[in-house]
Chains A and B, each alone.
Chain A
Amino acid sequence: MTEAPDNLKYTPDHEWLRLEDDGTVTLGVTDHAQQALGELVYVELPEAGRELEPGEACAVVESVKAASDVYSPLAGAVTAINDALADTPELVNDSPYADGWLLQLRPADPKTLEDLMDPEAYARFLAESED
């Protein structure tokens, strides 16, 4: 199991977010999420320019087993999407924190990122939710 990188923030829905130097935020799903989903066969991404509300479903990741919504915890506008996932959705499984990134957005308020879980809090959250 890949360890949750320590420069990222996390959500209880198993998304990770990374603040980039240019102020945009990159979003993906965690290793825990890709393991639970199984091998992905489709990824649906939003259109660039779409305005997102906090907690809004912005993408869908679909495995053989089930489809799962991906939520943005921040308000913002989508600036980029990972085109490679149209032909190679399994990048999310193989490299959830790097090549399997889903989208980038320009947050309405970058400070809201600080409210999210840091790596230790996410690790504790995972441990507590284990059956």
Chain B
Amino acid sequence: MSKTTPLYTRHQDAGAKLVDFGGWQMPLHYGSQLDEHHAVRGHAGIFDVSHMTVVDVSGAEATPFLRGLLANDVAKLKAPGRGLYGCMLNEAGGVIDDLIVYRTGADSYRLVVNAATRDQDLDWIDTCAADRSLAVAERAAAVMLAVQGPDAVSLTLPMVPDALRESVQALKPFHCRQADGWFVARTGYTGEAGLEIIIDDARVALDLWDELIACGCRPCGLGARDTLRLEAGLCLYGQDLDEAHTPLVSGLDWTVAWEPAERDFVGRAALEAQRNDGATEALAGLLLEDRGVMRHGQRVLTATGEGVITSGSYSPTLGRSIALARVPVDAHGHCTVEIRNAERRARLVPPAFVRNGEVLVDLGDT
């Protein structure tokens, strides 16, 4: 039996096509995922992301615990109100999940992890936290909304509690503020400016949803969420990331905090071995120079060896297919992708295609 979020009836009323995602009934789109995508790039869209897992970790040992659990270093969060993106690894250095962790107090943190990996993430955290002086509490009843796009912050500002308004206006990326049952962060999964908001009281969240829609913010589903994040070059756990691959071969070497060298974390030894040997694969971007759509699992043939598409789709902004692919570390230039028994020409590019409404790739003479 699928779970539903407190916004379920809103989605039905708005004509959503609902699909199962990680055990949740979620809107795939509300009529046009292409229009929803363009609305976020050009104006503002709102996503119900309440299926994500919110976990609060607090206690005397919270900081050393998280410094040992995560490949990025929470000690970088020198004061409450800051967050960072990184991975939680297994002993082999494989990615259990990617997540954002915010420091909410001297000894308290909020982790936002994926919906589909909730059970294994919580089991892993509980196992690692055993016998430590910690409280680990999931916020299962909270509603999480993402408002994304060039107009997202200005549309949302009048609606946040007075106590938060000034600080939310000044929020820097990955920073957050909390008050009156609201948690607001300058983060997102679309490559546009925006906010991710966690609200304890579902009725307050429903009011925010209604007010934002009334102001012209477009409701957007998982279809647009996927094309937006792929254009932005952001990884999707289960496609670009999984337990069999380390951050170093998944384009996330920048999220591993090697310094200070004395900080041990789960998977460090395995990562160091791979770094010392030199990783043989890397995550690249692909631009298809032909009709058709690249998809997960398709073979990529480069001049220096074979690779595989990890995430492929159609880019509404670019009007052609784009993908992320795991390829030999020295692959560059043109390659071919095996699409439905035909070899189609593609070009390797840095793995980010559109950010803040701007096209980052040279579209060439395609």
Contacts and interface: CB of A to CB of B under 8 A. Distances in A.
Interface of A: 38-39, 41-42, 44, 60, 62, 64-65, 67
Contacts of B293: 41-42, 62, 64, 67
A38 B292 contact: no
A39 B28 CA distance: 12
Contacts of A42: 291-293
Contacts of B223: 38, 64-65
A81 to B, nearest CB: 15
A67 B340 contact: yes
Given A64-B227, A64-B314, A67-B340, A44 B291 contact: yes
B227 A62 contact: no
Contact of A39 (B32, B313, B340): B32
Prevailing SS type, chain A contact patch: strand
Nearest to B226: A64
A38 B224 CA distance: 12
Given A44-B291, A64-B293, A67-B293, A38 B33 contact: yes
A64 B291 contact: no
B33 A62 contact: no
B34 A39 contact: yes
Contacts of A39: 32-34
Taking residues whose C-beta sits less than 8 angstroms from the other chain, chain B's interface range is 10 to 19
A64 B292 contact: no
18 contacts: A38-B28, A38-B29, A38-B33, A39-B33, A39-B34, A41-B293, A41-B314, A42-B291, A42-B292, A42-B293, A44-B291, A60-B340, A64-B293, A64-B314, A65-B223, A67-B292, A67-B293, A67-B340
Interface of B: 28-29, 32-34, 223, 227, 291-293, 313-314, 340
B257 to A, nearest CB: 36
A42 to B, nearest CB: 5
Given A42-B293, A44-B291, A64 B313 contact: yes
A65 B223 CA distance: 9
B13 to A, nearest CB: 18
* 10 cross-chain pairs, A with B, having the tightest CB-CB distances, nearest first: A41-B314, A64-B314, A42-B291, A39-B34, A62-B293, A64-B313, A67-B340, A39-B33, A39-B32, A42-B292
Contacts of A65: 223
A42 B295 CA distance: 14
